[in-house]
């Protein structure tokens, strides 16, 4: 399928309207073992995932284009860039979460990187999906916090989290992403997911520190429209194998 034939965001809205939950597997190019890629792709293809997100805090490996092309040979899932900085753009992907780190106050991550990325993105066919990205405190310093030099929002201050989410929606973001951070000790609190999902209209992505099926189900039950799984699948490519068969959680494929 060519990039222009796909409308990732419309499909997300459609899924939300049908209460069909979505699942993204997050691949960090720096952690890909090229020799294992075929099996990795077949595991993704057999999994309940609806999307592949690609990105990392650094991405020092210059394999982004090759990685995406290789995945596309064997898997039809939409590939969405989830970039840590403007160097992580590939026109081989289908779309990009155009992130603004609205939980923080670092201008580079609110507008600076976006200004650098805009002319590059203009040259691509990528579907650009403006996304309010909110880091929620999760029991330890995460890579996003370290690299962006921003503080996460206090997980015990739901009023501030809500106001930030509402501001993100009012600014015109099409998605909100509640992020505990990759490998977080504690996932985003369910009360926060519940509060935000009840008070915004746009689809809600939740990720960071979700390590089992129950965690995914809890996030869905609390109002997440799309859950992101990175580390758990990275550590165990069979993560979805036995969970898939009888799991009603995954009704998206
Ligand atoms: C990180 O939300 C994603 O940006 C996924 O987090 O690696 O903890 O699954 P995990």
* Residue ranges per structural domain of the chain: 3-237
pLDDT tens digits for 5-16? 679 999 999 999
Query: pLDDT category, 192, cuts 50, 70, 90?
Result: very high
Tokens 């210059």 belong to 62
Q: Using the predicted structure, report yes or no on whether residue 252 has a pLDDT greater than 80.
A: no
Query: 8 C-alpha vs ligand 1 centroid, how far in Å?
Result: 20
Beta bridge partners of 221: none
Query: 206 C-alpha vs ligand 1 centroid, how far in Å?
Result: 9
Region 176-187: what's the mean pLDDT? Answer: 97
Region 83-94: what's the mean pLDDT? Answer: 91
pLDDT in the model for residue 87: 84
pLDDT in the model for residue 4: 59
249 vs 186, higher pLDDT: 186
Query: 173 C-alpha vs ligand 1 centroid, how far in Å?
Result: 21
pLDDT in the model for residue 56: 83
State pTM to two decimals. 0.95
pLDDT tens digits for 223-233? 999 999 999 99
Q: Using the predicted structure, report yes or no on whether residue 244 has a pLDDT greater than 80.
A: no
Query: pLDDT category, 59, cuts 50, 70, 90?
Result: low
Q: How many residues does the chain have?
A: 253
Query: pLDDT category, 52, cuts 50, 70, 90?
Result: very high
Residue nearest atom 1 in ligand 1 by C-alpha distance: 182
CATH class of the domain defined by 3-237: alpha beta
Among 23, 208, 226, 237, residue to substitute to test ligand 1 (most atoms within 8 Å of Cβ)? 208
From 227, 196, 195, 194, select the one nearest 209 (Cα to Cα): 227
Query: pLDDT category, 35, cuts 50, 70, 90?
Result: very high
Helices within the chain (DSSP H only): 8-17, 37-46, 64-74, 107, 113-122, 143-148, 158-170, 190-199, 213-222, 231-235, 241-244
């Amino acid at each position: 399928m060519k990039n222009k034939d796909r409308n990732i965001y419309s499909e997300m809205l459609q899924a939300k309207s049908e209460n069909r939950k979505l699942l993204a597997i997050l691949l960090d190019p720096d952690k890909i073992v090229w020799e294992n890629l075929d099996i990795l792709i077949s595991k993704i293809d057999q999994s309940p995932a609806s999307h592949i997100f690609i990105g990392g805090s650094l991405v020092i490996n210059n394999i982004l284009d090759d990685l995406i092309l290789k995945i596309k040979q064997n898997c039809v899932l939409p590939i969405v860039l989830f970039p840590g900085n403007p160097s992580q753009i590939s026109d081989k992907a289908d779309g990009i979460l155009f992130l603004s780190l609205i939980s923080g106050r670092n201008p580079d991550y609110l507008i600076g990187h976006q200004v650098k990325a805009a002319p590059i993105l203009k040259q691509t066919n990528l579907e650009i999906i403006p996304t309010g990205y909110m880091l929620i405190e999760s029991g330890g310093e995460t890579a996003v916090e370290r690299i962006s030099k921003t503080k996460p929002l206090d997980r015990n201050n739901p009023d501030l989290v809500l106001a930030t989410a509402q501001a993100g929606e009012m600014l015109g973001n099409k998605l909100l992403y509640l992020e505990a951070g990759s490998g977080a000790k504690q996932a985003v609190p369910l009360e926060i997911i519940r509060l935000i999902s009840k008070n915004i209209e746009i689809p809600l992505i939740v990720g960071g520190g979700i390590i089992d099926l129950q965690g995914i189900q809890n996030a869905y039950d609390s109002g997440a429209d799309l859950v992101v799984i990175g580390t758990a699948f990275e550590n165990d490519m069979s993560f979805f194998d036995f969970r898939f068969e009888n799991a009603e959680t995954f009704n998206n494929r």
